[in-house]
Chain A
């Protein structure tokens, strides 16, 4: 049955439990689809042996009737997550050959819930990018194309391999991470659902760090229900991550009702950015109309510090990255440069990092180093952290006035072509994050939901921003949008 990899997680869960399909059969079908997907460059490594082993365990659990929600469900894992004894390179040359002898908490929880690891997924190097073009593996390619145009498009980034794999039906769901929009932007570009939970909902332990105060793991799936199922398995307190929350994890799936009566949905006026394509503006209005029709009250709100979010982010994230990436020194793991007989350890460090990091990572590490250096710390870093307080306060004020969730576009455009941004200056690429980055700065949950196609047949997404720890309410709004839009478009297979 060739249609198995296109099942939703919820459909596969039912069919597996009913014995209509087997975990081994489903895993083999996904492995075959992944093996035949080389032109997409979505997977950086397949973990077929692990997948087949896990599938036999899942089959046994299903037979015994002890099958958690994800039992027998094949998933793809972003290369940023450590999976024991499998390559984990963060799509960087500097981690060439690295095989972690430990498991990230999020993936451990997924395997304990019976999920199956198909392989590692392509991404921007160290999650720094919006297109996967900074990957040491070469870019992932979107399964989507503009109508009548075979030019390769980006699946977005940094979790672009995850988005491409889910959209192309290579796996049933995938993990992503989101520091400034890295789950939500690729989800929107690829016509799938992507959820960035509240900061602290998922453990960061064993996930290669980019900017620790912003990084969160989350699910990327084909439906809101699937995201709810997967998030529940990924979330929860972990003593190994002191910022992970001890708050209980609710049953997110049970919250999906779609009844918006009594809900107040905020439309932030500052998100009407100059030069926003009319199609995005129209989709945003459409989204508000759908929620109104489902019973919600739509309220215009103000988040006055929105326009300072991107510059604040591009101080804070590189600063934290420069600190986190200091560990790649050619001593404990990964690449080490060769040095001359008369050179010492400093030359070894400097050449290792010059050879191992790509241009965008080098740029951000140096910017981060500069803004933290003596004499500039107050002017840049401290000021950015104060602006961050103001950005969070904007949201707190809106929520205190009774707003339940906020509706915005997910991205300022549909997917762009590979290489189209090559001549743009770095700041142009950073503008991709304009609607998503505030959510990371404020630690809030955000979800991207596919809502329509643009004039050239490419997916466009809406974003729902929730109150802190209210992923359940946020997902219910996303569910209402999903139901109203009836989005069912799929890319035509060309690979």
Chain B
């Protein structure tokens, strides 16, 4: 599978990574090379094989639905690039 420039643009946007127009074509070539390497997987007969969901055969544990942590909004916000009045602030989302 080879990736064209438009697909590269779409993937970059889906990944929320800005890519300059001039870099899209080289990016497409690079991603195509990596995908080519993955094509080797098509040689494997996977008929009837279950996809792995857990590498160790274990049941996901259950726990009581209780609050066990929290109550320190200042600590939660202390690393934010822009926090005001107890909130994370972001550029305007809705006009």
Contact = CB atoms under 8 A, between A and B. Distances in A.
A442 B49 contact: no
Interface residues of B, number: 51
B17 A353 contact: yes
B85 interface: no
Interface string B49-72: 111111110101101000000000
A354 B24 CA distance: 13
Contact of B33 (A322, A379, A386, A427): A427
A380 interface: yes
A326 B15 CA distance: 8
Interface residues of A, dominant DSSP: helix
B56 A199 contact: yes
Contact of A425 (B8, B33, B44): B33
B58 A366 contact: no
Interface in A354-372: 354, 357, 362-363, 365-371
Contacts of A386: 44, 46, 49-52
Contact of B18 (A335, A351, A367): A351
With a 10 A CB-CB cut-off, give which of A312, A345, A351, A369 has the most chain B CB atoms: A369
Interface residues of A, number: 76
A118 to B, nearest CB: 24
B80 A366 contact: no
Given A345-B93, A384-B41, A390-B46, A426 B30 contact: yes
Given A239-B63, A427-B33, A390 B49 contact: yes
B75 A362 contact: no
Nearest to B88: A331
B82 A336 contact: yes
A198 B57 CA distance: 12
Interface residues of B, dominant DSSP: loop
A366 B38 contact: no
A112 interface: no
B44 A334 contact: no
Contact of A373 (B1, B14, B38, B39): B14
A347 B63 CA distance: 40
Nearest to A305: B44
Interface in A207-266: 213-214, 239, 242-243, 245
Contact of A354 (B18, B54, B81): B18
Interface in A61-100: 97-100
B25 interface: no
A330 interface: yes
Given A312-B41, A389-B49, A345 B91 contact: yes
B63 to A, nearest CB: 7
Interface string B21-53: 000000100110111011111111010011111
Contact of B56 (A245, A315, A363, A441): A245
Interface of B: 1, 3, 7-8, 11-19, 27, 30-31, 33-35, 37-44, 46, 49-56, 58, 60-61, 63, 75, 78-82, 88, 90-93
